[in-house]
Amino acid sequence: MKNKLQWKFVLIMLLLILILMTVVSVFLIQGVQRFYSNAFFSQMETVFTDKLLYGELTAALYEEDPVAKIQEVLDAYQGRLGINTDTRNYYILDGTAGSVLVTSAVGEAGQLAITPNILQALTGSFAFGGNATADYMDIAVPVTGEGDSIEYVVYIRDNRQTVRDLTLSLVSLIMEAVGVGFVIAVALALILAKTLLQPILGMTKAAEAIAGGDFSKKLSVESDDEIGILAHTFNNMASQLQATLEEIRRSETLRREFVANVSHELRTPLTSIRSYAETLTENPDMEKETEVSFLHVILNESDRMTKIVQDLLELSRFDAGNVQFNFERFSISKSIEDVRDAVRLEAASRGHTISVTIPEGLPHIVGDRARIEQVLINIVSNAIKYTPDGGYIDITSGSGDGHVWVAIQDTGIGIPEEDIPRLFDRFYRVDKARSRESGGTGLGLSIALEIIQRHGGDVDVTSVVGEGTTVTVRLPIEPKAADGEKSAGGRHHALEE
Ligand code: ADP
């Protein structure tokens, strides 16, 4: 592939040079020829329209040997006329027959054919007409005597040999230039191909590496031209691909963990139900009291299972996106008070003090009241569960920036910093034993986050181990219509069904 493109470049360059040089040569040669013939005619015109020369020519007619005199005059003007006895010559023709009487030409060059200019001069007028296609240039001037009789014709002829020689040397010069141009073009084309192809080859290698799962190869972006932009885009694409793959792997791990968790969470209560039930069947003479306590364990465990299954079903509905929300405008202040009332007994049984602070005029919000209350109850229940007896739970609230916030602060055991980001993961519990003991499933906060996110809000946790935890729920006063429908995105993995 490399060679193919490289040679295409070379070919294009060569063609370019060839076309360019051809065009330049055509113009150059034409220009030179035109210049040369223009120079000839204007030179002749200047010399022959000079009164002095023409006067001398006509005066020669009165000499004894007019032809010799004319020749003498012409010889005197040899320099100005450019007569060189080789490519340019003068002829003195007989005024009636047009036959050559005298010429500066030697040998073959002396032979003369009658040209249109000679014919014109024989009729009595100056002939400076040019013919571009002819292989000569000429002018003819009649030397007129008394009574307008044409005695002689002075004829100057240039055989264009000079311009032909010039053209030839120009052509050979151009050929040489083309040769040099070819060499330069090939070198340039190769350099160009190399600079263009190097990054492309790099990209091919990187793409191959990526196809093989190796994302470590990054292209160096050396320029800010199109190739540089391409390399940059390629790098971006590679990083994005890598991120996506990592995300897929991560969610695959999460999915496996989740399936393992579900099985484990369901097996634990099942195992105890089974062992208690077995003990009961194997010991029909058991004391009534023990029997009742065993049956209680069985009931408790099946309640736990029911709770887990219910929570899982709820999450699964969120994942599938078919949870119906009943949006309405309601008083969040009233909800906070209702939540407090709902947990009052539970808190009292642990000796906790709950305080509620609601500012005057806390705006009503639009949302699914029952679900938001469910979230708040869940968070307050956590505060009750994870705070040693006799603690304090403060529920405060406020608004601003189009949002309402509710913060639940406790004086509980706190959460280690490294666990905070995972709190919302399904089945994630900081202390499994404690959570299970208090009837937790590890799904409460996952469900809470789903509900709040679908309102366009968020949940934030700050905590100091041994001092307490603050969970803050922020909800928009007017959620955007779409928020209720949209999926929570990649934070959680789909529930296996
Ligand atoms: P659970 O059903 O176990 O309470 P959640 O999803 O509600 O599950 O909470 C997840 C974990 O977060 C809990 O197991 C607990 O370890 C921790 N957690 C939640 N709230 C608090 C809190 N107020 N204080 C200390 N730990 C908490």
**Residue from 375, 445, 464 to probe ligand 1 pocket by mutation (most atoms less than 8 Å from CB):** 445
419, 482 Cβ separation under 8 angstroms: no
Would you say the CB of residue 423 lies under 6 angstroms from ligand 1? yes
- Cβ atoms < 10 Å from Cβ of 25: 18
Ligand 1: distance of its center to the CA of 336 in Å?
A: 20
Give the separation between CA 213 and CA 242, rounded to whole angstroms: 9
Ligand 1: distance of its center to the CA of 477 in Å?
A: 27
Question: Quick one: pLDDT at residue 132?
Answer: 67
Strands 403-410 and 468-476: antiparallel
Question: Quick one: pLDDT at residue 484?
Answer: 45
Q: How many residues does the chain have?
A: 497
Torsion, CA 414, CA 420, CA 422, CA 424, rounded to 10: 80
- Cβ atoms < 10 Å from Cβ of 305: 18
Question: Quick one: pLDDT at residue 124?
Answer: 87
Average pLDDT per 10 consecutive residues for the chain, totaling 497 residues: 75 89 90 88 87 87 91 90 88 89 78 87 87 83 87 91 88 90 88 82 86 82 82 88 92 88 88 94 90 93 91 90 90 96 95 95 95 96 94 96 96 94 89 73 92 95 96 93 44 36
Ligand 1: distance of its center to the CA of 459 in Å?
A: 13
Question: Quick one: pLDDT at residue 495?
Answer: 36
Residue 297 has which token pair? 């364990």
**Residue from 386, 424, 427, 447 to probe ligand 1 pocket by mutation (most atoms less than 8 Å from CB):** 386
Architecture (CATH level 2) of domain 323-492 = 2-Layer Sandwich (3.30)
Whether this prediction's pTM lies above 0.95 is answered by no
Residue range 2-165 in CATH 3.30.450.20:
yes
Ligand 1: distance of its center to the CA of 252 in Å?
A: 24
Domain boundaries, the chain: 2-165, 226-315, 323-492
496, 258 Cβ separation under 8 angstroms: yes
CATH topology for the 226-315 domain: Helix Hairpins (1.10.287)
E strand residue ranges, 145-178 = 150-158
Going by C-alpha positions, the residue among 60, 40, 44, 49 that lies closest to residue 143 is: 60
> CA 72 → CA 67, 69, 89, 146, 220, distances in Å?
8, 5, 14, 21, 84
Name the closest-CA residue to atom 7, ligand 1: 444
Ligand 1: distance of its center to the CA of 485 in Å?
A: 27
Would you say the CB of residue 430 lies under 6 angstroms from ligand 1? yes
Give the separation between CA 295 and CA 289, rounded to whole angstroms: 10
87, 158 Cβ separation under 8 angstroms: yes
Residue 256 has which token pair? 């496996």
**Residue from 423, 441, 449 to probe ligand 1 pocket by mutation (most atoms less than 8 Å from CB):** 423
Q: Beta partners for 138?
A: 157
Would you say the CB of residue 429 lies under 6 angstroms from ligand 1? yes
Q: Beta partners for 468?
A: 464
Name the closest-CA residue to atom 20, ligand 1: 382
